[in-house]
Amino acid sequence: MSFFITLFFFLSCNIVFANTNYSFDPLSVKRDPFLPPEGIGTNKAPDIQRFELGEMKLVAIMSGVGVPRALVMLPNNKSHIVQRGDKIGRFGGVVDKILSGEVRVSEQFVDHNGRKKTSITSLILAD
């Protein structure tokens, strides 16, 4: 019974297509197979902000004339030169001080009570 009602309704409707010159180009909707899918691999953070501070090694400190700088080695064997104010680490750390044998990095976080806290981590120069 419902089949006949649906058929009657479909036959009684006047269907009008406004544009009969429609064309479809399948190449316009296909994605490039050599690009990663959308949403994957879109992390644009530099390497120095992808690793935790504990995974990094302090290799050298350059001080004297000018701004002190430090050479940090990452786990992927890439090195970066940092100075005071540079972002470093996965958790938004900032280079606070560069001393003769260490680099101090401060990371801000919110504790379980909702208060802002600052954690200071030191990267010690390896012998």
Radius of gyration of the chain (CA): 30
28-41: per-residue pLDDT in tens? 667 777 877 766 55
Residue 95 pLDDT greater than 70, yes or no: yes
- The CATH code that applies to domain 1-127 is 2.30.30.830
Q: According to the model, what pLDDT value does residue 119 have? A: 92
Q: How far is CA 34 from CA 23, 27, 44, 45, 48, in A?
A: 27, 15, 19, 22, 27
Residue 59 has pLDDT above 60, yes or no: yes
Domains of the chain, residue spans: 1-127
More confident residue, 11 or 66: 66
6: phi then psi, degrees, rounded to nearest 5:
-65, -45
Residue 127 has pLDDT above 70, yes or no: no
Residue 4 or 49, more confident: 49
